[in-house]
Amino acid sequence: MRTCSIPMRAVWTLALLVAASPAVATDEALTLLDRGSYRRAAALCEQRLAANPSDAMASAVLSRVRGQQEKLDEAVRLATAGVTADPKNADVQYALAEAYGRKAQDAGVLKAAGLAGKLKKSAEAALALDPNHADALAMLVDFHRKAPGIMGGDKKKGAEFLERLIRVDPVAGWTKKANVAFSDKDTTLGAQCLARALESSPQSGRAMVSLASWLVQPWRDPARAERLAKQALELEPWRMGGWQVLAGLYAFQERWAELDDVLAKSEAVDPTRLTPWYTAGRTLVTSSKDPVRAERCLRHYLSREPEISAPAHANAHWRLGQALEKQGKKDEAMAELAMAVKADPKLDDAKKDLKRLKG
Quick check: 131 and 124 in contact, CB under 8 A? no
How many secondary structure helices (H) and strands (E) does the chain include?
19, 0
For residue 288, is pLDDT > 50? yes
Q: Which amino acid is located at 145 in the chain?
A: R
What pLDDT does 10 receive? Answer: 27
Q: What percent of the chain has pLDDT above 90?
A: 87
* Tens digits of residue pLDDT in 234-263: 999 999 999 999 999 999 999 999 999 999
* Tens digits of residue pLDDT in 123-162: 999 999 999 999 999 999 999 999 888 888 999 999 999 9
What is the CATH number for 321?
Answer: 1.25.40.10
In a domain, 152, yes or no: no
What pLDDT does 26 receive? Answer: 65
- Domain range holding 344? 237-359
Residues 3 and 125 in one domain: yes
Domain end, chosen from 130, 145, 177, is at 130
For residue 11, is pLDDT > 70? no
In a domain, 215, yes or no: no
In a domain, 337, yes or no: yes
Residues 245 and 125 in one domain: no
* Tens digits of residue pLDDT in 186-224: 999 999 999 999 999 999 999 999 999 999 988 899 999
* Cα–Cα distance measured from residue 70 to residue 67, given in angstroms and rounded to the nearest whole number: 5
Domain end, chosen from 130, 152, 171, is at 130
Q: What percent of the chain has pLDDT above 70?
A: 93
Domain end, chosen from 75, 106, 130, is at 130
Residue by residue, what is the 3-state secondary structure of 199-219? HHCCCCHHHHHHHHHHHHCCC
94 CA to centre of own chain: 17
For residue 331, is pLDDT > 60? yes
What pLDDT does 39 receive? Answer: 96
In a domain, 145, yes or no: no
Per the document, the length of the chain is 359
Residue range 94-104: mean pLDDT, rounded:
96
What pLDDT does 82 receive? Answer: 98
For residue 357, is pLDDT > 50? yes
Q: Between 205-216 and 187-200, two packed helices, what is the crossing angle to 10 degrees?
A: 150
What pLDDT does 152 receive? Answer: 87
pTM of the model: 0.88
In a domain, 30, yes or no: yes
Contacts of 20 (CB under 8 A, 6+ apart): 1, 134, 138, 169, 171, 172, 175, 176, 206, 210
In a domain, 355, yes or no: yes
* Tens digits of residue pLDDT in 13-50: 222 233 334 333 469 999 999 999 999 999 999 999 99
What pLDDT does 12 receive? Answer: 22
In a domain, 289, yes or no: yes
In a domain, 54, yes or no: yes
Q: What is the dihedral of CA 83, 96, 22, 273, to 10 degrees?
A: 110
Residues 122 and 244 in one domain: no
Cis check for the bond before 218: say yes or no (omega within 30 of 0): yes
What pLDDT does 22 receive? Answer: 38
Residues 2 and 126 in one domain: yes
For residue 106, is pLDDT > 90? no
Quick check: 243 and 17 in contact, CB under 8 A? no
State how many domains the chain has: 2
Residues 126 and 7 in one domain: yes
